[in-house]
Structure 1
């Protein structure tokens, strides 16, 4: 069961108490990575059925197991054990717990690919997507949000403002009119806040910053959450982090085409296109440096990356080599 279906069956985007999530992690360790007795299983059933929040917390933590085909079991086990240790030590809140989760991932795998794909942020998110999945939401004010591959958000609508927290990945936002309240609409990221000014825009998180592309209207960018603001207008692209914001050059890849299930390339670098395709599959697509700067154009389906690679191989004299289950190399055909 996906995170989203699990949450829906347990009451939709309900607010799950921190102690329920902590207890669910402890139960996951007891049940999945030990040899639980019949008494332990009965005690777990009693806890899970005691409150809707318990069932929802259990299903949310089970999202780690949902990626079992993508994430080594040892990583999940070590992650949950470290999270349980943090809980036992009375770590202050889920932010501390998530730090333990991330640390567990690095220790268990010592590899960036799986760490990047592991769903740490889903424990805090209201809605998420898996690798290769996309989802469209319509919020109560009429705002439409499209989540791209491997993304996670939370929403918080109050009397004074509307807020979306982008915890992972990428979203395309088309703000609703919010009649008659006309509350400010904010998107919060780890690198700063964005205030939408009647607009349509794309925002994406990277390891060390975020990217903003405005298709309609304007967005006020507050890097690092500070008072300094930059107005980003339609047709502009910006990159921002906690220190500031700078205009971002065009990459040759259309920023919002993914919402239609395609990547549109117009004289893009081959390595940039391959990196983009890699986001929609588990593992890595490595590009030989000799062909990294080759320019490519075309429309590539994000839900069939294998066909996209075959097409590139046919049209640009490339060789596609599968070196391991999750590792593909793209090289010159004559190499």
Structure 2
């Protein structure tokens, strides 16, 4: 039989963009498999970190679960300790530090990262639906979503029409003054706001571009005809800026995607099953959404995880349980009968019998 053994004590390093879900979600998986855990919430959301620090000992066994608050020094000290499993959600550069620390003890890891997840809009797509779902997938939580749309690559024949629909959709969602919309989020801090706004410099801004640093507000922004070599296309944006580009054939799109790192998600908008299958078969990503964005994370039984620079390992549902267990094979045989054919000395007859049995 195969038994599932708990790995032991896990370290969970949470993220700031969805600080409850991305910290307690892995904890649920750890508990389901019978593990203990040390939890390190993100220091960029101190209120949520303090809440987790207060609630965990209130509801969980303090001998089995603990929370450590703090920044880089505390995390560095924690990573110097030996754990049986490490779960990290964040950026690839920090993930490399985590993985290097884990390697010293051959500790298994799950790394939930990100990347430049594209939205591919083909001419045969339902453009109205595509515009709404791309806008939602980009500007939800002000673009601070690991599986959010990073950029849109649009078939040339419908480029102008789609941009027009996208612009109107943003105004429909958030009104003429998005800063006043109760549905539009803020950037986590000033450093990130300055970084994201800097990516728009020198770009052709279709809509948005304005900011209010005191309010940590950066408008939903759409960029037109972005140069693939520009800074905004080099790293994950993680903010409400949507670069758009054109393509003329699918091979061009596939080559462009494959020239970069493997993203956490990619979104295909097309009514053609052939095109959908071709893109899926010839590219690699953590997940794929066809004619939709973000919704794959809502499927309870579906594994969630990246590939390459977008992460390794998976969790959610049963996959979370598996991530925190060792599958151990247990063989049990009767001792009453013990044929001598397995034991030396080996004869030609034993070899023939063994060959026949196998």
More helix as a share of residues = 2
Fold-level similarity (TM above 0.5) = no
State the structure with bigger RCO (CA 8 A, min sep 6), 1 or 2. Answer: 2
TM-score, structure 1 as length reference: 0.30
